[in-house]
């Protein structure tokens, strides 16, 4: 069961590795570049943030609406401390230091969210994480000295990576893909370790896990820390992709978008986050040509409704059902 998941994941990764080349064969160069960076690359970056949500949902059993905010904490930390950002707020650090600092900040924020939400469940957890996200969002939006308020911080262009410019579509794409791959396989590994098993046990029956000698609360908080780390990686990449960050990128809309991606893909497995984010990014980008730019929300809403109506567990669940109908074995 597990080896089959790994095999399919490796195949998917291999396909994504050669996608830019395939696109170049099929499309003119500028379009291929656009697809590589703005559809696939962006989709993968938001997939990382969505995976921090699906990780918590799948293995911990809690839906956190704070993950976009946690990603934003990484983005703002990067923007505040890195050299060259406009306006200069603290500055003084190169990307080599600012990026780990940003991911660390997101991890800490994840732990804080976890510590606050640890005793709540279901709708209450949803509301607490949403309240935290909106509180931080308002704080950032109205604080000009540290976050430049509504304007946000621009010109976070990203580092040179071994002499390659981060702004090059292919450099960005492969860094995003590499990060996503490492985090994805890291999650698959983590959930097989005793920590991951305890986490799943807690989701099934917290009292039983406690009776086996494991402290439930600290494990829950640690899971939020892991999710914070994942979201932080996504937040750094998203900030560099957008050449900066503003409150809009962590507001209610962005928060809900991450939830929509996760649900479209399916909450049963971490890969759902990437499936969902790629579908979402596709419609986000092409709603103008499919229907009308102003009608993006209508379009994605209809897509969302259709998917949730046909398959409550997202595209992953739909895939599994399709395989069953065709006489295949059960989905993983």
Partner 1 sequence: MLSVRDLHVRFGQAHILQGVSLELGAGALAIVGRNGMGKTTLCQAVMGMVAASEGEISLEGQSLRGLAPFRIARRSVALVPQGRRTFPSLSVDEHLRLVSQGRTARWNIERIYQTFPRLAERRRNGGTELSGGEQQMLAISRALLMNPRLVIMDEPSEGLAPVIVEHLIQVLRALPADGMSLLLIEQNLRVATEVAGEVAIMVTGRIAATMPAATLANDPDMQRRYLGVSAGGH
The phi, psi pair for 327, rounded to 5°, reads 90, 10
Q: How far is the CB of 6 from partner 1 (least distance, A)?
A: 15
DSSP letter for 295, please: G
Taking CB under 8 A as the binding criterion, the range among 12-20, 168-176, 190-198, 302-310 that sits at the site for partner 1 is 190-198
The length of the chain in residues reads 332
We find the least distance from the C-beta atom of residue 219 to partner 1, in angstroms, to be 10
Work out whether strand 160-161 and strand 164-165 pair parallel, antiparallel, or are unpaired.
antiparallel
x/- track of binding to partner 1 for residues 110-149 (CB under 8 A):
----------------------------------------
CA end-to-end span of the chain? 6
Among 97, 215, 288, 306, binds partner 1 (CB under 8 A): 215
Q: What is the dihedral of CA 311, 316, 321, 323, to 10 degrees?
A: 150
Quick one: 207 or 329, whose CB is closer to partner 1?
A: 207
**Residue from 1, 145, 325, 326 that binds partner 1 (CB under 8 A)?**
1
CA 323, chain centre distance (Å) = 27
Nearest approach in angstroms of CB 124 to partner 1 is 22
In the complex, least distance from residue 210 CB atom to partner 1, rounded to whole angstroms:
4
The nearest distance, CB 8 to partner 1, in angstroms, is: 18
Core vs surface per residue 52-76: b (16+ CB within 10 A) or e: bbbbbbbbbbbbbbbbbbbbbbbbb
Which of 143, 155, 205, 297 touches partner 1 by CB under 8 A?
A: 205
- String of DSSP letters for 154-180: E-----EETTEETTSHHHHHHHHHHHH
Q: State the minimum distance, in angstroms, from the CB of residue 221 to partner 1.
A: 15
- Taking the complex as a whole, the smallest distance from the CB of residue 226 to partner 1 amounts, in Å, to 18
180 close to 47: Cβ distance less than 8 angstroms: yes
**Binding residue (CB under 8 A) for partner 1 from 28, 213, 294, 326:** 213
CA distance 309 to 255: 22
244/79 Cα distance (integer angstroms): 7
Q: Is 330 in the site for partner 1 (CB under 8 A)?
A: no
Tally the C-alpha atoms within 13 A of residue 305's C-alpha that lie toward its C-beta. 6
By CB under 8 A, name the one of 18, 25, 162, 207 that touches partner 1. 207
Applying CB under 8 A, the span of 28-36, 196-204, 241-249, 310-318 interacting with partner 1 comes to 196-204
Q: Which residues sit at the interface with partner 1, rule CB under 8 A?
A: 1, 192, 194, 197-198, 200-201, 203-205, 207-208, 210-216
């Amino acid at each position: 069961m597990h080896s089959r998941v790994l095999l399919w994941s490796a195949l998917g990764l291999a396909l994504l590795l050669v996608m830019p080349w395939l696109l170049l064969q099929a499309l003119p160069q500028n379009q291929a570049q656009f697809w590589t960076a703005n559809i696939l690359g962006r989709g993968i970056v938001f997939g990382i943030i969505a995976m921090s949500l699906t990780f918590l949902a799948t293995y911990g059993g809690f839906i956190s609406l704070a993950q976009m905010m946690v990603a934003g904490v990484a983005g703002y930390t990067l923007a505040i401390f890195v050299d060259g950002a406009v306006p200069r707020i603290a500055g003084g650090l190169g990307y080599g230091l600012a990026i780990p600092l940003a991911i660390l900040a997101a991890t800490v924020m994840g732990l804080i969210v976890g510590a606050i939400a640890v005793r709540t469940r279901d709708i209450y957890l949803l509301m607490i994480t949403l309240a935290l996200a909106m509180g931080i969002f308002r704080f950032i939006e109205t604080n000009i000295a540290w976050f430049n308020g509504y304007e946000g911080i621009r010109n976070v262009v990203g580092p040179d990576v071994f002499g390659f410019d981060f702004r090059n579509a292919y450099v960005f794409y492969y860094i995003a893909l590499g990060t996503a791959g490492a985090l994805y396989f890291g999650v698959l590994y983590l959930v097989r370790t005793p920590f991951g098993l305890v986490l799943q046990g807690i989701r099934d029956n917290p009292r039983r896990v406690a009776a086996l000698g494991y402290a439930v609360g600290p494990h829950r908080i640690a899971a939020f820390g892991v999710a914070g780390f994942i979201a932080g990686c996504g937040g750094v990449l998203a900030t560099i992709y957008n050449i900066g960050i503003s409150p809009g990128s962590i507001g209610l809309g962005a928060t809900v978008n991450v939830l929509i991606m996760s649900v479209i893909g399916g909450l049963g497995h971490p890969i759902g986050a990437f499936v969902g984010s790629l579908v979402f990014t596709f419609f986000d980008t092409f709603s103008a040509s499919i229907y009308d730019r102003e009608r993006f929300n209508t379009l994605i809403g209809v897509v969302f409704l259709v998917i949730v109506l046909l398959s409550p567990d997202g595209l992953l669940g739909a895939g599994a059902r399709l395989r069953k109908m065709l006489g295949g074995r059960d989905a993983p």
